[in-house]
Amino acid sequence: MSTSQGPFQFFSGSLRGSSGCGLAQQGTSYGASSADGGASSTHPFSSARPFWLAAGGTTWGSFSEHYGESIFLGGNEKQTMQNLNERLAAYLDKVRALEAANAQLESCILEWHRTKSHGKRHDFNQYEQNVTDMQRQIEDSKITNASILLQIDNANMATEDFRLKYEAEKCRRQGVQLDVENLRKELDGMTIITTDLEMEIEGLREEHILRRKDHEEDMEANRSSQDFKVNVKVNAAPPEDLGKILAEIREDYEAIIEKNRQSLDNWYKEQSAAMSLAATPNPEQIQRNENEIKELRRTLQSLDIELQAQISKKHMLEDTLADTRSYYAAALQNMQQIISRCEEELSQVRHDMKQQNNQYKVLLGIKTRLEKEISTYRLLLEGNADGKGSHKPLRTISVVPDCCEGLTAEPMGCLSPSPDSHTHGHRLKLSWDLRRHRDSTG
């Protein structure tokens, strides 16, 4: 019996007669017992590594331990072939045994499935059709997505090509602009030099005109002196030809102008060659410039994204601020209404307190007068007053226990409410006839 653990163990036993199949959990070992109820031989099946079986229930490892040391370590060829044949025969026997065990296991599995399903079969054709349709839709979607991705890649490549062309054309345009600026500077220099030469030519022409005029004046003076018929013999050199002298001067200046022109042409050619060499694009410099441009573009994009984020955040904060302002404005308005109501109630309470204070003062005055009159009556009842004293007028005392407004005191000592006042409750009116009382007590 193998000690390895597995999910199931197949054995033959008493489940369905003598040839029944049983299914029990036994780790990772699948065992098939003998049909006669003898000891079962369990062989481990592992999903992670293969196993090998040899004849007699021994594993391939034990078989290799038994035979492996003597197969290729020496001996004659006949012994080696015999060992190989024995191993092949044992291997074939084990294959047949495993096939038989596999067939038995398959029959047991089928019987177990029949037992569990009770002969009922579910129709999964509809679900299979739905699954097939969904798989076809998934495949179509994958193809569509692949085509879209391909189009996106092509568009990105075309965009990159156009961008590279744009960068190259931009570099060329900048180079041409620099060349044009340099040529304009050279043209300005040539214009200045030409202007200077023209000014020199004008000066020479003026000098030539002045000399010709002086010569004509000298000739006129000589003619006028010949009228006096003065013969002066002078041993002088023969006169020089003025036209020849002017021609020589003109040739000299033309030679100077030609020399200056050639020097300017040579200088211009040298400058043009130097500028063309300087304008020749350097691959390394171009690569560095392109890298810098890419980095700057990425920085610009990140800054744009950050700017958009900050703008959205600003709008959100502005909306929040507006909501907060509106909320607090409504709360402030509500509080102002509450304060106004409280002020009205406070003014009403103050008015009521003022009225109650006035009523209290009136009632306090009534109480004082009542206490005085009661003390007087007590003195009269005790006989402190003289029996023969003067007659006192009749006094009427009106006691008003409830709150009443507008109480006035009568000038004759009688207390009564004013005509326009409203009294509530009961009135206790006491009238004393002092004279009758005095007579009765006398």
Per-residue pLDDT of the chain (442 residues; tens, 9 = 90+): 444 444 344 444 433 433 444 444 333 334 433 333 333 444 433 333 333 433 344 444 444 444 444 444 445 788 888 888 898 899 999 999 999 999 999 999 888 888 876 555 666 777 888 888 899 999 999 999 998 999 999 999 999 989 899 998 988 888 888 888 888 888 888 888 888 888 888 888 888 888 888 888 888 877 765 554 555 555 555 556 777 888 888 888 888 888 888 888 888 888 878 777 766 666 777 788 888 888 888 888 888 888 888 888 888 888 889 888 888 889 889 998 999 899 999 999 999 999 999 999 999 999 899 888 888 888 888 875 455 444 444 444 444 444 444 443 333 343 344 434 333 333 333 444 444 444 555 4
Q: What are the structure tokens assigned to 174, written together? A: 């900048």
In contact, 11 and 26? CB cutoff 8 Å = no
Comparing C-alpha atoms, which of 102, 106, 66 is closest to residue 87? 66
In this predicted structure, what is the pLDDT of residue 355? 93
Task: Say how far residue 124 (Cα) sits from the centre of its chain.
Answer: 49
In this predicted structure, what is the pLDDT of residue 148? 93
Backbone angles phi, psi at 429, to 5 degrees: -105, 125
Helix pair 242-279, 125-226: axis angle to 10 deg: 170
Residues contacting residue 61 through CB under 8 Å, at least 6 positions apart: 52
In this predicted structure, what is the pLDDT of residue 155? 92
- Residue ranges of the alpha helices (H) in 31-124? 60-67, 77-117
In this predicted structure, what is the pLDDT of residue 420? 40
Comparing C-alpha atoms, which of 203, 201, 333, 296 is closest to residue 254? 201
Comparing C-alpha atoms, which of 442, 347, 366 is closest to residue 404? 366
Backbone angles phi, psi at 399, to 5 degrees: -100, 120
In this predicted structure, what is the pLDDT of residue 145? 92
Amino acid making up residue 3? T
Backbone angles phi, psi at 440, to 5 degrees: -70, -35
In this predicted structure, what is the pLDDT of residue 189? 85
- Tabulate helix, strand, coil % of the chain (nearest 5): 70, 10, 20
In this predicted structure, what is the pLDDT of residue 386? 53
